[in-house]
Structure 1
Amino acid sequence: MYLLLLFTLVSVCVAWLYAKWMHMKSYWVNRGVPQGPVNPIFGSMRFLQQKNPGVWMRELYEQFKEFPYVGIWVFWRPGLVINSPELARQVLVKDADVFRNRLLRSGKRDPLGALNLLTVDDPLWSSIRRRLTSVFTASKLRGWHELYQSKVSDLVERIRTDKEKGVTVNLRSLFADYSTDIIGESSFGIQCQATKNSSGPLRAMTLEFEKYSTWRGMGWSSMFFVPEMVDIFGFSFWPQNTVDYFRKIFSMMVKERGGLDKEVDGKRDLLDALLKMRQDALKDNQDMDLDILVSNAMILLQGGYDTSSAALMYICYELAYHPEYQQRLYEELLKAKKSLGEKEFEAADLAELPFLNAVFNETLRKYPIMGWLDRVALKDYRVDEKLTIKAGTVVYVNAVGMHKDPQYFPEPEKFHPERFLPENVKNIVPYTFLPFGDGPRSCIGKRIGQNTVRYALAAVLLNYEVRSKPGEVEPNDMKFDRRQMFYAPAQDLSVEFIPRK
């Protein structure tokens, strides 16, 4: 009797899986959409924790680049990968109201991971974004000039002392120390010394952010691709020890400013803007839980320090292997510095240097920190005259695929900053270059990231020549971390810093 019952249950499960698999194999094909192999359990996601998602996205693009889109299965959820710049514009900008939300989210048991600009859905997302935008204006960032000058001086000195001690410099760690200080002091008013000695309360946190165990990798895979599993397995966006630690730091910072209820104008820094966001919400009879403030403070810390340090790492590494470009950039910086006389660079001065910006943009083309942009259709949506997708379908704009398409960027594996010089930018097809995303959900910290990279790069190259080291992996042979969602190298990267005479 029991054997018969067990056999019946197994048969039903096998039959259900088979029917599900057949449905998945035919779903996109019946709609005239190409799709690759499908697994009955994982859908198209068998690559997770075996290769970096950015690498997978690029391979998918190479396989189907003659098509404007390709159907995939995000486990048992249908998804559409966009390979077309015209459709990218539709999803990100023109019809952004249909694609306000992302699939990415954390669970109910992880409030700090679930309530920030990266993971939260509308309408809360719109409220938070609108209230925080004032922190990231150009006029606000001009007030950070002295901070940048102080920290890049520390950075130059740190490189000198490490060299004297014979320390092998891990580029990612070096620039993460610097970018943590920038975000910590500019956003929260905390005195940070990580650039000098890789220490401090916020650097202790960002060091934890950088640790990707197999378990954390599985957690992030769930949040990005199958968020229903987050609560089942108890995954969290950040390690619990960093959450507890930051709660204490945040409470101390608020207390030093007079508490949650002391009136602020929201113009001083990110912390002020968060406090004012809560006060304004309460005046409007809207709920604004303290976890929302802490969550957004944490995501802006992680997003700000991580992306800037990665960009600086990749730039220095490429320049070490392309001395001709490094020399050209050095000469541009030196000429601009001499024209200022005794003055130091300001953000506006650096923003006007064409080759500096070309190097920055070419690096982000070759190494987009986030290789894709996910959105979820809020209602049935007509993609083109051939295809209408159902509400709830997840759509991925394949940014890394377009960044590496020779149709848009000839010899895409070549580091070629001239593509982004003013006279050549007009040749770039709109929406084929998306390092900061586009539309309403584009990167809120774009200006901070640009300034953080420009100031550091100018200071480093005016004081040091960077050279490749024997035995280091060449840029085009670099492997990417299979456990992470971001486009991060699987190995430490290091260069030689040679003092300039």
Structure 2
Amino acid sequence: MPSNIVLQLLGIGVLTTLWLFSRRRSRAATFNNLRGPPAASWLSGSLDKLVNKRAWDFHRQISEAYGGVARVKELFGRDCLYIYDPKALHHILVKDQYTYEETDAFITNNRIIFGEGLLTTLGEKHQRQRKMLNPVFSIAHLREMGEPELQPSVHPPADPPTQVSIFYQVGHKLRDTLVKMTASGPKEIDILGWNTRLALELIGQSGLGWTFDSMEENSTPHPYAVAVKQFVPLSGDSPAIVRQWLVPTIAGIGSPRFRRFLINLIPSKSLHNLRDVIDTLHKTSVEIIQAKRKALQEGDPALEAQIGRGKDIISILMKANLEASDEDKLSDAELEGQVTTFTFAATDTTSGALTRILHLLATYKEYQTKLREEIRNARKENGGQDIGYDTLSTLPFLDAICRETLRFSVNNRQVPPVSYLFRVARADIILPLSSPVKGINGDDIHEIPVSKGMHIIISILSSNRDPKLWGPDSFEWKPERWLKPLPEAVLSAHLPAVYSHLLTFIGGGRSCIGFKFSQLEMKVTLALLLEHLEFSLADKRIVWQMTGIATPHPNFDSVMPSLPIVISRAD
């Protein structure tokens, strides 16, 4: 009897092994049947073609040739998935988001740069940080920052208010400076530089309770402002193998001093410059946290005396942190990490988007004229006062301009602030598709077997301009598409997006926590600038480099971004 049981168990074991082997072979056969571009090299696969300043056309070729999912080769010939299928995106970003996490290289690189902030934490730690931060990104708090203080309607006019909202206060400074600069006639101005200064000062005052810039024409830039401006160009100015493999590998070796010694040995000027930029970012973050902690210890009068009057994001976060339970409390390293994270996330992304809007309005002047009329009418209906938060948020043409630019941009190139994301599968899993793709053998593939450790490229580019969803005009910049109901295909796709069915701010637990902050900043700035100023194209070539955050340059070899534009007084 016992021998029969042993034989039965052995039989079950053999059958199970054969079933698992057969299933693995079937999964491998399905995956290997996926189509994709041939590897460009054995070392980097297609990664250098996907991740470089000129990669726009290659991304479009992949999406048009292979559909919602393709197999591409990355470092050392490893398989990687390139995806923009809506159902697959929902599983990656929402349903199975804790299986598809940020890659080790992303986390390690960002931890070196930003410390222990939102961009560098996973799982429970990330959820805990986000729980602490959600209240300061609420609509109520944004309304307080974006609502202008109304002046009494009396004659003669009352003295200017002693306090106005942070967004309008900083926006007025930029507008007044540009008006002054164009007093003698039209002038060519690097609008990206000014938008970057504006975005940094806005996140400085509203986010950190700190000022970096007087917003005057010839003021000396703060070292932090210089470092922030250099960061994106420098971080994208090195081969993919350095960013994706070499630096993360060094980060796991020895002590911080030894790791710095190894970085110093690498013969890369851009890497050494990036090292110095990171030093500046960290030093300033520590300085801000120390100043906030001192003010908190001294009480509310000390906070009230600071920039932001204690209502900035970091002050509110630190006050909440003092009262939080031990399991929710953030460490000093986590608080310092939020400073650099907020500043980086809110500066280059929003300034780039605002610059693209002004570039497009300079290209299509009829849209600029129509938008200026809408803004002036809204101010007139508000008794000549700055436009309030609720009205500003719902101006239809202003909203359409912003949405369409965040969906699509200039010169037949879709340029969201971030064009793609990397994820890694932390376990074996099946990834379903909303539409089948043709395999190499001609069969339809309805789901993809994803192996633990496989990297996935989420294409924001391709999702936002997919003709199957957005229609045959998906590659055209058409703000009016937002003034009527969106195509049913977009609505029924159920894209995992927190904003307008667009993947620009992604979705799920790692969606952009500050996307409403960014919208408010863009709308306040456009309302103030367009009412008084007109923007026209300069006689200069502009290309948008596909760096980590898209930036305008005179050519693809340029390191420092700029966008010259002609500004004059508006009639």
- Give the TM interval when normalised to the shorter protein: 0.7 to 0.9
CA distance in 2, matches of 1:415, 1:280: 48
> Which SS does the other structure have where 2:48 is aligned?
coil
Query: 1:172 is matched by which residue type in structure 2?
Result: L
Q: Flag the 1:480–1:206 CA change in 2: closer, same or farther, 3 A.
A: same
**Structure 2 residue corresponding to 1:480, chosen from 528, 531, 544:** 544
> What's the CA shift for 1:318?
0.3
CA distance in 2, matches of 1:191, 1:114: 22
Question: Deviations for 1:145-178, whole angstroms, at most 9, x for unmatched residues?
Answer: 3212212211111112222478631111111111
CA distance in 1, matches of 2:278, 2:35: 39
CA distance in 2, matches of 1:79, 1:86: 18
State the match for 1:251 in structure 2.
290
CA distance in 2, matches of 1:118, 1:406: 32
Higher deviation after alignment, 372-381 or 106-115: 106-115
Does the CA contact (< 8 Å) of 1:419 and 1:425 recur in 2? no
> Which SS does the other structure have where 2:72 is aligned?
strand
> Which SS does the other structure have where 1:181 is aligned?
helix
> What's the CA shift for 1:104?
5.0
State the match for 2:477 in structure 1.
415
Does the CA contact (< 8 Å) of 2:98 and 2:123 recur in 1? no
CA distance in 2, matches of 1:244, 1:254: 16
CA distance in 2, matches of 1:72, 1:273: 45
TM alignment of 1:80-119, pairs within 5 A: 80-107=81-108, 111=112, 113-119=114-120
Question: Deviations for 1:155-212, whole angstroms, at most 9, x for unmatched residues?
Answer: 11111222247863111111111111111111122245442347577x5313312225
> What's the CA shift for 1:498?
2.2
Higher deviation after alignment, 400-409 or 319-328: 400-409
CA distance in 2, matches of 1:481, 1:28: 38
Question: Deviations for 1:462-494, whole angstroms, at most 9, x for unmatched residues?
Answer: 11122222x223xxxx52336x31222233222
> What's the CA shift for 1:60?
2.4
Does the CA contact (< 8 Å) of 2:179 and 2:533 recur in 1? no
Question: Deviations for 1:338-392, whole angstroms, at most 9, x for unmatched residues?
Answer: 2111432122111111111110011111221111133222221111354211122
Q: Flag the 1:487–1:90 CA change in 2: closer, same or farther, 3 A.
A: same
The reply to whether residue 180 of structure 1 matches residue 243 of structure 2 is no
State the match for 1:317 in structure 2.
359
CA distance in 2, matches of 1:434, 1:316: 22
CA distance in 2, matches of 1:105, 1:378: 14
CA distance in 2, matches of 1:436, 1:212: 21
Q: Flag the 1:124–1:31 CA change in 2: closer, same or farther, 3 A.
A: same
Does the CA contact (< 8 Å) of 2:170 and 2:198 recur in 1? yes
CA distance in 2, matches of 1:335, 1:48: 45
Does the CA contact (< 8 Å) of 2:100 and 2:423 recur in 1? yes
Higher deviation after alignment, 118-127 or 90-99: 90-99
State the match for 1:45 in structure 2.
47
> Which SS does the other structure have where 1:247 is aligned?
helix
TM alignment of 1:272-287, pairs within 5 A: 272-276=315-319, 278-279=321-322, 283-284=325-326
Does the CA contact (< 8 Å) of 1:107 and 1:113 recur in 2? no
Query: 1:98 is matched by which residue type in structure 2?
Result: T
- Sequence identity, in percent? 21
- 5+ residue gaps, structure 2: 1-26, 148-164, 254-261, 264-270, 304-309, 409-414, 433-445, 496-500, 555-561
Q: Flag the 1:156–1:103 CA change in 2: closer, same or farther, 3 A.
A: same
Q: Over the residues paired in the alignment, what is the CA RMSD in angstroms?
A: 3.3
TM alignment of 1:145-184, pairs within 5 A: 145=147, 146-164=165-183, 168-184=188-204
> Which SS does the other structure have where 1:70 is aligned?
strand
Q: Flag the 1:244–1:167 CA change in 2: closer, same or farther, 3 A.
A: farther
Query: 2:544 is matched by which residue type in structure 1?
Result: F
State the match for 2:4 in structure 1.
none
Does the CA contact (< 8 Å) of 1:117 and 1:296 recur in 2? yes
**Structure 2 residue corresponding to 1:397, chosen from 441, 446, 458:** 458
> Which SS does the other structure have where 2:81 is aligned?
strand
Q: Flag the 1:455–1:224 CA change in 2: closer, same or farther, 3 A.
A: farther
> Which SS does the other structure have where 1:370 is aligned?
coil
**Structure 2 residue corresponding to 1:208, chosen from 202, 223, 227:** 227
Paired residues, what number? 464
Higher deviation after alignment, 69-78 or 204-213: 204-213
Question: Deviations for 1:307-333, whole angstroms, at most 9, x for unmatched residues?
Answer: 111111000010111111112211221
- Per the normalisation by structure 2, the TM-score is 0.73
TM alignment of 1:299-310, pairs within 5 A: 299-310=341-352
- Per the normalisation by structure 1, the TM-score is 0.82
Q: Flag the 1:142–1:215 CA change in 2: closer, same or farther, 3 A.
A: closer
Q: Flag the 1:344–1:88 CA change in 2: closer, same or farther, 3 A.
A: same
Q: Flag the 1:434–1:286 CA change in 2: closer, same or farther, 3 A.
A: closer
Q: Which entry has the higher C-alpha Rg, 1 or 2?
A: 2
CA distance in 2, matches of 1:440, 1:479: 33
CA distance in 2, matches of 1:222, 1:28: 29
Q: Flag the 1:323–1:230 CA change in 2: closer, same or farther, 3 A.
A: farther
TM alignment of 1:406-485, pairs within 5 A: 406-409=467-470, 410-424=472-486, 428-429=490-491, 430=493, 431=495, 433-469=502-538, 471-473=539-541, 478-481=542-545, 484-485=547-548
CA distance in 2, matches of 1:417, 1:62: 24
> What's the CA shift for 1:277?
5.9
Query: 2:205 is matched by which residue type in structure 1?
Result: E
Does the CA contact (< 8 Å) of 1:136 and 1:445 recur in 2? yes
Query: 1:408 is matched by which residue type in structure 2?
Result: L
Q: Flag the 1:370–1:216 CA change in 2: closer, same or farther, 3 A.
A: closer
State the match for 1:58 in structure 2.
60
- 5+ residue gaps, structure 1: 1-25
Q: Flag the 1:312–1:154 CA change in 2: closer, same or farther, 3 A.
A: same
> What's the CA shift for 1:500?
2.3
> What's the CA shift for 1:445?
0.3
State the match for 1:79 in structure 2.
80
Does the CA contact (< 8 Å) of 2:31 and 2:448 recur in 1? no
The reply to whether residue 241 of structure 1 matches residue 274 of structure 2 is no
The reply to whether residue 270 of structure 1 matches residue 333 of structure 2 is no
State the match for 2:131 in structure 1.
130
Does the CA contact (< 8 Å) of 1:104 and 1:119 recur in 2? no
CA distance in 1, matches of 2:118, 2:335: 11
> What's the CA shift for 1:27?
7.2
Question: Deviations for 1:19-45, whole angstroms, at most 9, x for unmatched residues?
Answer: xxxxxxx97885321122222211221
Does the CA contact (< 8 Å) of 1:362 and 1:420 recur in 2? yes
CA distance in 1, matches of 2:191, 2:29: 44
Higher deviation after alignment, 112-121 or 33-42: 112-121
